[in-house]
């Protein structure tokens, strides 16, 4: 089982979630209005990390699965 | 004299000798820009302008152009840095330039641009889609103002604090569908024979056999550059002593840290100007002057992190580079200096603050980019072309007009 899902979004966008947020499967992680690409959470879980990666000019969002 | 007083005297003498020696060594090695080692809150490197009036206008023909781009630097980033460095009455070097304008920044497909589309607008004079470098939305490569200047017989250079293959410098010397294609961008920058390249990003020049490589092939662009006549350097000390018509300075594998022992952006700018001016003076091939683009890449990075202290520091590091360019332009009299930004990052505002104490309350409305217009400041011959409110694509068009380049923008043959 995957411990953590990592989603990368272009940093032109702003993430719509913060560390500690609970997210539903399919919930938008960014609005997608600036790049035309929306990103959704692949699982229900908790946002563990929101980090800017300057080399790729992307935000890295990590989501851990909801504990049963 | 008591023992303790004698010890104090000896200690004071030792300190004086150390200070004197370090001053002599510093002068001998040309360290004009002592870079702090780690502290993002340390802005002691910044020297406020000695004047509060605008620099004088300098009417004559344009020989050289220096374009400085603060990535992510909106009007509020400039205001914040100014208030933090000098209080509410101060002015940064860029604000002392006599001509001021504002540009809009949208891309071909979005109201909010990224650095690739904005870099392409500032380099090639055309709108393109977010993510694309040096080409129109239909993927037709377009000539950049750097390439047009080179075709006119000018020496050319790019300086940045990101990787040299990052979106903004890439837009001036390469043509690719995606800003992510940094290995291909690095190839094109060397293939374009740009005289001076100073930044980070050495990993994209190393073959995949090297553990530090960012490439997926066996090309060694360091060796290819040397074979093409480049002197390749990696340290601030090498930067101080290097000479030659082609210099590739890659001071980190990835983007720069902007701390010592790396050279400061202002030092790279000053050296690039000296090298390009020397090449334009000595060489028949590049005898028509020079074009240099300098990017303060990491204002954007600080703003993405909503990091106020680093935003201030990066803006002031950029303003020191502006000072280096303006100092040269004032002495030379034939150099047009244009300072602008590609877009604003962070949606930064200052909702409150203290008029006299330099304390400000800031509000970041986004971690992404915004559609806010960005400033233009200019000095030198034909700088009057850069006043007013206009489109970012007009910046290189106006530079082309100042240089007498008629066919611009144009598709690349």
Q: How far apart are CA B152 and CA B169, in angstroms?
A: 20
Residue B297 belongs to what domain range? 60-403
Residues of chain A positioned with their CB less than 8 A from the CB of B366: 14
> For residue B181, what is the domain's CATH number?
3.40.720.10
Question: Contact A12/B369, CB-based, under 8 Å?
Answer: yes
User: So what's the ipTM on this one?
Assistant: 0.78
Q: Which of A13, A35, A54 sits opposite B301 (nearest CB)?
A: A54
Please provide the size of chain B in residues: 413
> Tell me, what DSSP letter sits at residue B204?
G
Sorted by sequence, the CB contacts under 8 Å of residue B22 that are 6+ apart come out as none
The whole-chain average pLDDT of chain B stands at: 92
Let me know if residue B245 belongs to a domain: yes
Domains in chain B, number: 1
Model confidence pLDDT, tens digit, residues B234-249: 999 999 999 999 999 9
Nearest CA in chain A to B112: A34
User: Pick from B162, B301, B368: which is nearest to A34 by CB?
Assistant: B368
Contact A35 B179 (CB under 8 A): no
Contact A52 B369 (CB under 8 A): no
Helix (H, G, I), strand (E, B) or coil at B369: strand
pLDDT tens digits along B205-229: 999 999 999 999 999 999 999 999 9
Residues paired with B247 in a beta bridge: B196, B231
Interchain contact A37–B (C-beta under 8 A):
no
Domain boundaries, chain A: 5-65
B198 forms beta bridges with B159, B249
User: Mean pLDDT lowest for which of A35-49, B142-156, B172-186, B311-325?
Assistant: A35-49
Which of A13, A54, A56 is closest, CB to CB, to B368?
A13
B115 in catalytic set: yes
Tell me whether residues A36 and B110 touch, CB distance under 8 A: yes
Residue from the list A11, A33, A34 with its beta carbon closest to the beta carbon of B304 = A11
Q: Find where tokens 């380099």 sit.
A: B123
Q: Spell out the CATH class of A5-65.
A: mainly beta
pLDDT (tens digit per residue) in B324-344: 999 999 999 999 999 999 999
Q: In the prediction, which pLDDT does B357 show?
A: 74
Mean pLDDT per block of 10 residues along chain A (68 residues) reads: 84 92 92 71 94 94 86
Q: Across residues B394-398, what is the average pLDDT? A: 98
The answer to whether B70 touches B296, Cβ cutoff 8 Å, is: yes
**CA B145 to CA B132: how far, in whole Å?**
17
Euclidean distance between the first and the last CA atom of chain A, given in angstroms as a whole number: 13
Chain B interface includes A48 (CB < 8 A): no
List, as one string, the DSSP characters of A9-21. Answer: EETTS-BS--TT-
Q: Is B349 exposed, middle or buried (0-12, 13-18, 19+ CB in 10 A)?
A: middle
Task: Quote the tokens at residue B292.
Answer: 């240099």
* Cβ neighbours for B94, distance < 8 A, ≥ 6 positions apart: B68, B78, B319, B322, B339, B375, B377
Residue B33 falls inside a structural domain: no
Q: Residue B104 pairs with which residues in a beta bridge?
A: B391
**Binary contact (A55, B254; C-beta < 8 A):** yes
Residue B52 lies in a domain: no
Out of B22, B26, B115, B213, the active site residue is B115
Instruction: Please write down the long-range contacts of A23-32, taking CB distance under 8 Å and 24 or more positions apart.
Output: A23/A47, A23/A63, A29/A61, A30/A59
Residue B14 lies in a domain: no
């Amino acid at each position: 089982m995957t411990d953590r899902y990592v989603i990368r979004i272009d940093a032109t966008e702003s993430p719509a979630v913060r560390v500690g947020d609970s997210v539903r499967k399919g919930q938008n992680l960014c609005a997608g209005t600036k790049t035309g690409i929306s990103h959704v959470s692949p699982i229900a879980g908790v946002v563990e990390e929101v980090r800017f990666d300057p080399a790729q000019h992307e935000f890295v969002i990590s989501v851990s699965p909801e504990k049963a | 004299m008591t023992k303790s007083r004698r010890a104090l005297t000896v200690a004071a003498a030792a300190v004086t000798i150390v200070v004197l020696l370090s001053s002599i060594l510093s002068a001998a090695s040309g360290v004009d820009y002592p870079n702090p080692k780690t502290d993002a809150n340390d802005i002691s490197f910044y020297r406020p302008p000695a004047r509060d009036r605008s620099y004088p206008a300098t009417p004559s023909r344009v020989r050289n152009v220096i374009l400085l781009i603060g990535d992510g630097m909106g009007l509020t980033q400039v205001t914040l840095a100014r208030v933090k460095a000098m209080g509410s009455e101060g002015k940064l070097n860029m604000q002392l330039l006599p001509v001021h304008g504002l540009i809009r920044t949208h891309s071909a497909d979005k109201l909010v641009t990224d650095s690739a589309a904005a870099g392409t607008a500032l380099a090639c004079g055309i709108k393109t889609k977010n993510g694309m470098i040096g080409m129109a939305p239909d993927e037709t490569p377009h000539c950049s103002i750097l390439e047009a200047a080179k075709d006119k017989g000018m020496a050319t250079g790019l300086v940045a604090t990101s990787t040299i293959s990052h979106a903004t410098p890439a837009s001036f010397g390469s043509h690719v569908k995606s800003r992510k294609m940094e290995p291909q961008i690095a190839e094109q920058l060397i293939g374009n024979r740009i005289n001076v390249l100073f930044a980070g990003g050495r990993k994209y020049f190393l073959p995949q056999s090297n553990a530090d490589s960012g490439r997926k092939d066996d090309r060694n662009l360091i060796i290819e550059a040397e074979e093409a006549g480049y002197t390749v350097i990696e340290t601030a000390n090498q930067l101080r002593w290097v000479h030659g018509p082609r210099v590739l300075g890659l001071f980190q594998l990835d983007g720069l840290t902007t701390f010592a022992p790396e050279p400061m952006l202002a030092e790279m700018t000053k050296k690039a100007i000296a090298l390009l001016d020397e090449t334009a003076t000595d060489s028949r091939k590049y005898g028509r002057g020079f074009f240099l683009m300098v990017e303060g890449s990491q204002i954007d990075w600080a703003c993405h992190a909503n990091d106020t202290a680093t935003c201030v520091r990066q803006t002031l590091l950029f303003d020191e580079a502006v000072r280096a360019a303006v100092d040269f332009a004032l002495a030379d009299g034939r150099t047009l200096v244009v300072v602008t930004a590609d877009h604003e990052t962070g949606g930064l505002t200052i909702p409150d603050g203290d008029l006299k104490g330099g304390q400000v309350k800031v509000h970041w409305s986004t971690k992404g980019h915004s559609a806010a217009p960005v400033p233009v400041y200019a000095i030198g011959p034909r700088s009057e072309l850069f006043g007013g409110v206009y489109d970012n694509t007009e910046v290189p068009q106006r530079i082309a007009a100042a240089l007498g380049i008629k066919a611009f923008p144009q598709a690349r043959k």
